Amino acid sequence: MPSLTAYIPYFIAIALLLVVLVVKAIFSPELKYHSFWYKLKAKIIFWCGRIHRLHSFPWVTWSVNEHKMDFRESRQACTIALPGDIGLHKDEGFFSNLAIPGAFKHAWIVVDDNKCVEAIQKGVLHRDHLYPLISDYAIILRPRNVTKEDVKEAVRRAISIVGCDYDANFNFNFEESDKVLAEKYTRNLAAGAFHPAFSCTETVAFSWYHKRDHLRIFRSIQAGREAVVADDFLKMNYDILWMSESVTLEWATKMGMHEEGRQKIKNYLATARTRML
């Protein structure tokens, strides 16, 4: 009977094949949303996104640590935020943070009855605004000089995509989304060249895309392709309405926040101190 060492070349070949398949699934820029490769890619991305750093053995976990923000702050933000406002946050320690540029990593839009629309791994959800505000760092932004009708349209657009998948391909094709969703929206549309899937920042940008010129909604180049990251909203025509006590100018600078964002944080803190005097 052959010894196990005789099978080592086969084990190596199988391992290399698995590595190639995984790399192909992760780094393929465009995959059909209902294909085996896309589902594998999404599962790998979501699995990695749930890895949470620990400071002792075994150094990683899938549990969630206590957050820097307490419930007092979270409730305060919920009380202040109105429909049309958008939120950004960062949860510390998640492995996926390494792949997302900027200080903030997630975005959502407030819609109605103290609820928000946000895209997470399960898809685009309509749920209580407290969910994204149980976090470590959070900020609420309000669009500048928009009308009540503008806000109603943003809310309508946000709710219209509830039920869509999360976009693990990270396409930011707002024009095609507008074209497809201009007709009566039905969930679980058949697979085709375009698939109505949205990442978190794409959900927010799409909701306000009817005011794209006024709000200066734009795509930035990230990893060689056009996208919208959470920090980009601080370059657009949104003002800081509220932010958690954990968000400081020093933290923003350390996290590599761009100049426009740092200036808005500085202005907000100066105004907040004036209100306290």
Q: What is the pTM of this model?
A: 0.76
pLDDT digits (tens, 9 = 90+) for 237-264: 999 999 999 999 999 999 999 999 999 9
SS (H, E, C) the chain: CCCHHHHHHHHHHHHHHHHHHHHHHHHCCCCCCCCHHHHHHHHHHHHHHCCEECCCCCCEECCCCCCCCCHHHHHHHHHHCCCCCEEEEECCCEHHHHHCCCCCCEEEEECCCCEEEEEECCEEEEEECHHHHCCCEEEEEEECCCCHHHHHHHHHHHHHCCCCECCCCCCCCHHHHHHHHCCCCCCCCCCCCCCCECCHHHHHHHHCHHHHHHHCCCCEEECCEEECCHHHHHCCCEEEEEECCCCCHHHHHHCCCCHHHHHHHHHHHHHHHHHHC
For residue 155, what pLDDT is reported?
96
Is the model's pLDDT at 185 over the cut of 50?
A: no
Higher confidence at residue 26 or residue 76? 76
User: With respect to CATH, is domain 71-276 assigned 3.40.50.2300?
Assistant: no
Q: Which of the two residues, 24 and 34, has the higher pLDDT score?
A: 34
pLDDT tens sequence across 117-128: 999 999 999 999
What share of the chain has pLDDT > 70, as a percent? 84
pLDDT band at 180 (very low <50, low <70, confident <90, very high): low
Start and end residues for every CATH 3.90.1720.10 domain found in the chain? 71-276
Report the pLDDT value the prediction gives residue 187, as an integer from 0 to 100: 40
